[in-house]
Amino acid sequence: MHEFEKYIVSLHQVSKKHSRFYAKWVNSAYARLDKDLLCPLNERDEQYAMDHLRRNIEDWQVQQATKALNLYRIFLKTTPGQNRNEKYHDKPSEWLDLEEKIIRTIRFQHKSRRTEKTYLSWIMRFALFLEYPSPNTLDTSHITTYLSHLANNRNVAASTQNQAMNALVFLFRFGLEKEPGISFSVNTRHI
Protein backbone atom coordinates (compact mmCIF):
# COMPACT_ATOMS: atom_id res chain seq x y z
CA MET A 1 0.00 0.00 0.00
CA HIS A 2 2.95 2.31 0.51
CA GLU A 3 3.58 2.26 -3.26
CA PHE A 4 -0.06 3.15 -3.88
CA GLU A 5 0.17 6.09 -1.47
CA LYS A 6 3.30 7.37 -3.24
CA TYR A 7 1.59 6.93 -6.61
CA ILE A 8 -1.51 8.99 -5.76
CA VAL A 9 0.58 11.73 -4.18
CA SER A 10 2.78 11.84 -7.31
CA LEU A 11 -0.35 12.35 -9.43
CA HIS A 12 -1.28 15.34 -7.28
CA GLN A 13 -4.65 13.69 -6.70
CA VAL A 14 -4.25 13.42 -2.93
CA SER A 15 -2.08 15.19 -0.40
CA LYS A 16 0.55 13.17 1.41
CA LYS A 17 -1.32 13.83 4.64
CA HIS A 18 -4.51 12.19 3.29
CA SER A 19 -2.97 9.37 1.24
CA ARG A 20 -3.09 6.93 4.16
CA PHE A 21 -6.90 7.31 4.30
CA TYR A 22 -7.15 6.34 0.65
CA ALA A 23 -5.02 3.26 1.34
CA LYS A 24 -7.29 2.47 4.30
CA TRP A 25 -10.41 2.54 2.07
CA VAL A 26 -8.80 0.21 -0.45
CA ASN A 27 -7.71 -2.17 2.32
CA SER A 28 -11.22 -2.11 3.82
CA ALA A 29 -12.90 -2.90 0.51
CA TYR A 30 -10.51 -5.74 -0.31
CA ALA A 31 -10.78 -7.16 3.21
CA ARG A 32 -14.58 -7.07 2.99
CA LEU A 33 -14.44 -8.98 -0.28
CA ASP A 34 -11.63 -11.24 0.96
CA LYS A 35 -9.71 -10.49 -2.25
CA ASP A 36 -6.01 -10.36 -3.00
CA LEU A 37 -4.80 -6.75 -3.24
CA LEU A 38 -3.06 -7.58 -6.52
CA CYS A 39 -6.31 -8.61 -8.18
CA PRO A 40 -8.30 -5.82 -9.85
CA LEU A 41 -11.90 -5.63 -8.64
CA ASN A 42 -14.72 -5.89 -11.11
CA GLU A 43 -17.62 -3.44 -11.02
CA ARG A 44 -19.88 -5.80 -9.08
CA ASP A 45 -17.28 -6.33 -6.34
CA GLU A 46 -16.67 -2.59 -6.02
CA GLN A 47 -20.41 -2.01 -5.73
CA TYR A 48 -20.74 -4.71 -3.07
CA ALA A 49 -17.89 -3.23 -1.01
CA MET A 50 -19.24 0.30 -1.35
CA ASP A 51 -22.76 -0.78 -0.36
CA HIS A 52 -21.32 -2.25 2.82
CA LEU A 53 -19.19 0.81 3.58
CA ARG A 54 -22.05 3.19 2.84
CA ARG A 55 -23.99 1.84 5.83
CA ASN A 56 -21.35 2.90 8.34
CA ILE A 57 -19.77 6.12 7.07
CA GLU A 58 -20.55 9.71 6.12
CA ASP A 59 -21.27 10.79 2.53
CA TRP A 60 -17.91 12.57 2.17
CA GLN A 61 -16.19 9.35 3.23
CA VAL A 62 -18.16 7.37 0.64
CA GLN A 63 -16.91 9.79 -2.02
CA GLN A 64 -13.35 9.45 -0.73
CA ALA A 65 -13.59 5.65 -0.70
CA THR A 66 -15.00 5.62 -4.25
CA LYS A 67 -12.18 7.85 -5.45
CA ALA A 68 -9.67 5.60 -3.65
CA LEU A 69 -10.94 2.49 -5.44
CA ASN A 70 -10.87 4.28 -8.79
CA LEU A 71 -7.29 5.44 -8.22
CA TYR A 72 -6.30 1.95 -7.07
CA ARG A 73 -7.72 0.41 -10.26
CA ILE A 74 -5.59 2.83 -12.30
CA PHE A 75 -2.60 2.09 -10.06
CA LEU A 76 -2.92 -1.66 -10.74
CA LYS A 77 -3.10 -1.06 -14.50
CA THR A 78 -0.04 1.18 -14.57
CA THR A 79 2.20 -0.72 -12.14
CA PRO A 80 4.92 -2.87 -13.72
CA GLY A 81 3.90 -6.52 -14.13
CA GLN A 82 6.67 -7.85 -11.88
CA ASN A 83 4.79 -6.49 -8.87
CA ARG A 84 1.62 -8.36 -9.68
CA ASN A 85 0.57 -11.95 -10.05
CA GLU A 86 -0.11 -12.27 -13.78
CA LYS A 87 -2.54 -15.17 -13.35
CA TYR A 88 -5.32 -12.63 -12.88
CA HIS A 89 -4.71 -11.14 -16.32
CA ASP A 90 -3.94 -14.12 -18.54
CA LYS A 91 -7.24 -16.00 -18.44
CA PRO A 92 -8.71 -16.72 -21.86
CA SER A 93 -12.11 -15.11 -22.44
CA GLU A 94 -13.85 -18.51 -22.37
CA TRP A 95 -12.65 -18.98 -18.79
CA LEU A 96 -13.60 -15.43 -17.80
CA ASP A 97 -17.12 -16.03 -19.14
CA LEU A 98 -17.29 -19.34 -17.30
CA GLU A 99 -16.09 -17.68 -14.11
CA GLU A 100 -18.87 -15.08 -14.38
CA LYS A 101 -21.45 -17.83 -14.94
CA ILE A 102 -20.21 -19.69 -11.85
CA ILE A 103 -20.41 -16.51 -9.75
CA ARG A 104 -23.98 -15.81 -10.92
CA THR A 105 -25.02 -19.39 -10.13
CA ILE A 106 -23.42 -19.40 -6.70
CA ARG A 107 -25.11 -16.12 -5.82
CA PHE A 108 -28.45 -17.29 -7.24
CA GLN A 109 -28.21 -20.34 -4.98
CA HIS A 110 -27.44 -18.04 -2.02
CA LYS A 111 -24.17 -19.72 -1.18
CA SER A 112 -21.79 -17.78 1.06
CA ARG A 113 -19.04 -15.46 -0.20
CA ARG A 114 -16.53 -17.87 1.35
CA THR A 115 -17.94 -20.73 -0.74
CA GLU A 116 -17.79 -18.53 -3.84
CA LYS A 117 -14.17 -17.63 -3.19
CA THR A 118 -13.19 -21.23 -2.43
CA TYR A 119 -14.93 -22.69 -5.49
CA LEU A 120 -13.47 -20.05 -7.81
CA SER A 121 -10.03 -20.59 -6.37
CA TRP A 122 -10.17 -24.35 -6.98
CA ILE A 123 -11.68 -23.92 -10.44
CA MET A 124 -8.97 -21.47 -11.50
CA ARG A 125 -6.20 -23.67 -10.06
CA PHE A 126 -7.69 -26.55 -12.03
CA ALA A 127 -7.74 -24.44 -15.22
CA LEU A 128 -4.18 -23.24 -14.63
CA PHE A 129 -3.00 -26.81 -13.99
CA LEU A 130 -4.52 -27.86 -17.33
CA GLU A 131 -3.11 -24.70 -18.98
CA TYR A 132 -6.54 -23.25 -19.76
CA PRO A 133 -7.93 -25.71 -22.30
CA SER A 134 -11.21 -24.91 -23.98
CA PRO A 135 -13.86 -25.59 -21.30
CA ASN A 136 -15.91 -27.59 -23.82
CA THR A 137 -13.15 -30.22 -24.01
CA LEU A 138 -13.16 -30.99 -20.29
CA ASP A 139 -14.24 -34.41 -19.09
CA THR A 140 -14.00 -36.66 -16.02
CA SER A 141 -10.42 -37.68 -16.80
CA HIS A 142 -9.33 -34.06 -16.23
CA ILE A 143 -10.88 -34.08 -12.75
CA THR A 144 -9.25 -37.40 -11.90
CA THR A 145 -5.86 -36.22 -13.17
CA TYR A 146 -6.06 -33.02 -11.13
CA LEU A 147 -7.20 -34.74 -7.93
CA SER A 148 -4.41 -37.30 -8.34
CA HIS A 149 -1.93 -34.45 -8.77
CA LEU A 150 -3.18 -32.89 -5.54
CA ALA A 151 -2.83 -36.18 -3.66
CA ASN A 152 0.46 -37.42 -5.11
CA ASN A 153 2.41 -34.26 -5.91
CA ARG A 154 0.95 -31.70 -3.54
CA ASN A 155 0.29 -34.11 -0.65
CA VAL A 156 -2.99 -32.47 0.28
CA ALA A 157 -5.33 -34.00 2.85
CA ALA A 158 -8.38 -36.00 1.84
CA SER A 159 -10.66 -33.19 3.07
CA THR A 160 -8.85 -30.76 0.77
CA GLN A 161 -9.28 -33.16 -2.14
CA ASN A 162 -13.00 -33.35 -1.34
CA GLN A 163 -13.21 -29.57 -1.33
CA ALA A 164 -11.50 -29.39 -4.73
CA MET A 165 -13.72 -32.18 -6.07
CA ASN A 166 -16.90 -30.40 -4.90
CA ALA A 167 -15.79 -27.21 -6.66
CA LEU A 168 -15.06 -29.12 -9.87
CA VAL A 169 -18.37 -31.00 -9.73
CA PHE A 170 -20.06 -27.61 -9.36
CA LEU A 171 -18.09 -26.35 -12.38
CA PHE A 172 -19.24 -29.28 -14.50
CA ARG A 173 -22.88 -29.26 -13.39
CA PHE A 174 -23.59 -25.55 -13.37
CA GLY A 175 -20.83 -23.98 -15.47
CA LEU A 176 -20.46 -26.54 -18.26
CA GLU A 177 -23.96 -27.97 -17.80
CA LYS A 178 -22.87 -31.59 -18.02
CA GLU A 179 -22.58 -34.34 -15.47
CA PRO A 180 -19.00 -34.90 -14.40
CA GLY A 181 -19.49 -38.66 -14.11
CA ILE A 182 -17.76 -38.63 -10.76
CA SER A 183 -19.62 -39.35 -7.55
CA PHE A 184 -17.07 -40.78 -5.17
CA SER A 185 -15.78 -39.33 -1.94
CA VAL A 186 -12.03 -39.08 -1.50
CA ASN A 187 -11.11 -41.36 1.39
CA THR A 188 -7.41 -41.78 0.80
CA ARG A 189 -4.51 -39.64 -0.27
CA HIS A 190 -4.17 -41.34 -3.64
CA ILE A 191 -6.82 -41.65 -6.29
**CATH value at residue 167:** 1.10.150.130
Residues constituting the chain: 191
Which parts of the chain sit beneath pLDDT 70?
79-90, 183-191
Would you say residue 126 lies in a domain? yes
Query: What is the C-alpha separation between 66 and 50, in angstroms, rounded?
Result: 7
Residue 79: predicted pLDDT: 66
In a domain, 185, yes or no: no
Give pLDDT, residue 141.
Answer: 92
Parent domain of 37: 2-86
Domain end point (choices 86, 108, 127): 86
- What was the pLDDT predicted at 183? 60
Same domain, 72 and 107: no
Residue 183 falls within a domain, yes or no? no
Q: Which of 86, 113, 142 is the last residue of a domain?
A: 86
- Give residues with Cβ within 8 angstroms of 30, minimum separation 6: 36, 37, 41, 49
Q: What would the DSSP string read from start to end of 66-85?
A: HHHHHHHHHHHHHS-GGGS-
Q: Are 75 and 124 in the same domain? A: no
Q: What is the pLDDT of residue 109?
A: 93
Q: Please give the pLDDT value at position 90.
A: 59
What is the number of domains present in the chain? 2
Residues 79, 117, single domain; the answer is: no
Whole-model pTM: value is 0.53
pLDDT of residue 182: 72
The pLDDT value recorded for residue 51 is 87
- For residue 73, what pLDDT is reported? 85
Apex CA 152: angle with CA 128 and CA 174, to 5°?
45
Same structural domain, 122 and 158: yes
Phi, psi of 129 (to 5 degrees): -60, -40
Q: Does residue 97 lie within any of the structural domains?
A: yes
Q: Is residue 66 part of a domain?
A: yes
Say what the pLDDT of residue 152 is: 87
pLDDT of residue 1: 81
Query: Is 82 found in the same domain as 102?
Result: no
Does one domain contain both 55 and 78? yes
